[in-house]
Amino acid sequence: MIELRKVTKKFGIKEAISSLSFTINEGEIVGFVGPNGAGKTTTMRLITGLIKPSEGSVRLFDQDPITSRLSILPRLGYLPENNPLPLDMKVQEYLEYISSVKKEMSLDKIVRELNIDDVYEKRMEQLSRGYRQRVGLAAALCGKPDILLLDEPTSGLDPIEQDVIKDLIQKLAKKRSVIFSTHILSEIEDVATRVLIINRGTLLFDGPKPKGKGSVELLFKKLIKKS
Amino acid sequence: MKALYKKEIMQLLNSPVGFTVPIVFAIFLGYLFTKDVFVIGSASMRSFFSVAPWLLFILIPALSMRSISEEKKTNTIEVLLTLPLSESQIVFAKCASIFSIILITLGLTLSIPLVFGLLAKLYLPEILVGYVGLLLLSLSYLSFSLFVSSKINNQIAAFAVSVIVLFLVTTLSSDFLSSILPKSAQDILLFASPILHLENFSKGIIDMRSAIYFIIFTLVFYLLTVKELSKRI
């Protein structure tokens, strides 16, 4: 489904991603973990085709996400970092707009699934961070995407809201592949089936989630120390 | 694309700029026209069509300044560019929504010939062609302002740059420039001046060369905006 082959991304002289390779298959819940500035968001943007690699190739469904964007994007749901939303719009207006563009026929079901009925008539600026995150998730879910890319979906949320979003991710992953980036290690333990650990643009670990409580944190700390 | 157009229109009409600027434009234009018309004593709308461009180069950047720059600043551009819409569809929807507000604004000014027509006999085709000229000029200014909005992340800076450039373009045919420049430079500047191309329309003459000038002007900046959105670093 997603294939990155020796991808390097440079911004000027700074190398944000260095020879990154991995493949993500159908039905996987991949936790993409790394400290701040590790290259998680850059990788997400490369997958969505928002930026192009300096070297190497990115393929989604065997196609280039930039040159074939119109055939790929209907199959992709994306929640960007910090969940940018038009604050001057009502939740209903925004979701109806997104669902109309993505040709989603069952918006009501998504709204119910994500429990945003209560705030449906409210303006985005009136919502708590947790609700904004749910709206962003609902927008990403419109069009029944095969791949869901979530860039730090629980960032800035309180522990209760974090649990709500984690439960939602698990629920959503039943029907599609989910890749979510985070720097909160407990999220990986709770949600992911596979872990990618990245630091300074280099992939340090790619494999199934280690078993046992605290094992992801242990592995992460060990690898970061080494790198 | 229809959904994006609808969303853009809704955002424009919900913003203070979207509904106040057109009303202020129509009132101000009406005032500038009527204050002189009885002094001149001529039953013609020509002075209206010669004053309008001097307000359009402020109105249009005001309407289009946030269109793309704000999307870039707030990062909603990432959501927009990951929707299954081509860059050309995005620019077209944004252009169409702002142009709809311009149509409403110019529609408001129709009250001027309607009232004026009660007092004096007006030549209707001349007025209609004049309005066609204003619409073509508006399209040109709009595509330019949208391009500036796509290049600059700050809406106030985008507004300032658009106004300054469009002001300079509008003054290309001014008497001041004609008096200080050599003849060859004058000819080039005069050809590039949108005001000069509008002049024939305001006389009621459909000049195909001028229409083509406005269409090319619009297309060039429209395509540059599409190119800017398609750019991947």
Taking contacts as CB-CB distances below 8 angstroms, the residues of chain B near A100 are: 2-3
Bridging pattern class, strands A194-199 and A202-208: antiparallel
Taking contacts as CB-CB distances below 8 angstroms, the residues of chain B near A98 are: 83
* Minimum mean pLDDT range among A77-81, B6-10, B73-77, B197-201: B197-201
CB of B75 within 8 Å of a chain A CB? The answer is yes
**How far apart, in Å, are the Cα atoms of A128 and each of A31, A86, A124, B57, B161?**
25, 14, 9, 40, 37
pLDDT, mean of residues A20-29: 94
Domain count, chain A: 1
Is the pLDDT at A9 greater than 70? The verdict is: yes
- Per-residue confidence at B31, pLDDT binned at 50, 70, 90? confident
CB of B74 within 8 Å of a chain A CB? The answer is yes
Taking contacts as CB-CB distances below 8 angstroms, the residues of chain A near B84 are: 70, 73-74, 101-102, 143
Complex ipTM = 0.94
Full residue range of the structural domain in which residue A138 is found: 2-226
How confident is the model over A46-57, as pLDDT tens digits?
999 999 999 999
Interface test with B, best of A7, A100, A123, A124 (most B CBs within 10 A): A100
Is the pLDDT at B44 greater than 70? The verdict is: yes
Calpha distance A126→A124 (Å, rounded): 5
pLDDT, mean of residues B18-39: 83
Is the pLDDT at B48 greater than 90? The verdict is: no
- Per-residue confidence at A184, pLDDT binned at 50, 70, 90? confident
Greater pLDDT, B181 or B8:
B8
Q: Check: CB of residue B189 under 8 Å from CB of residue B197.
A: no
| C-beta atoms of A52 and B79 within 8 A | no
- Per-residue confidence at A92, pLDDT binned at 50, 70, 90? very high
Amino acid at A181: S
Nearest one of A152, A155, A153 to A138, comparing CA atoms: A153
Count of pairs with CB atoms under 8 A, one residue in A, one in B = 66
Give the CATH number for residue A62.
3.40.50.300
How confident is the model over B207-233, as pLDDT tens digits?
899 999 999 999 999 999 999 999 998
* Minimum mean pLDDT range among A57-61, A125-129, B69-73, B187-191: B187-191
Q: Check: CB of residue A4 under 8 Å from CB of residue A64.
A: no
pLDDT, mean of residues A100-107: 94
pLDDT at B176: 67
Q: What percent of chain B has pLDDT over 70?
A: 95
Taking contacts as CB-CB distances below 8 angstroms, the residues of chain A near B14 are: 88-89
- Per-residue confidence at B42, pLDDT binned at 50, 70, 90? low
How confident is the model over B102-144, as pLDDT tens digits?
999 999 999 888 888 888 788 888 899 999 999 999 999 999 9
Bridging pattern class, strands A76-79 and A2-11: unpaired
| C-beta atoms of A97 and B6 within 8 A | yes
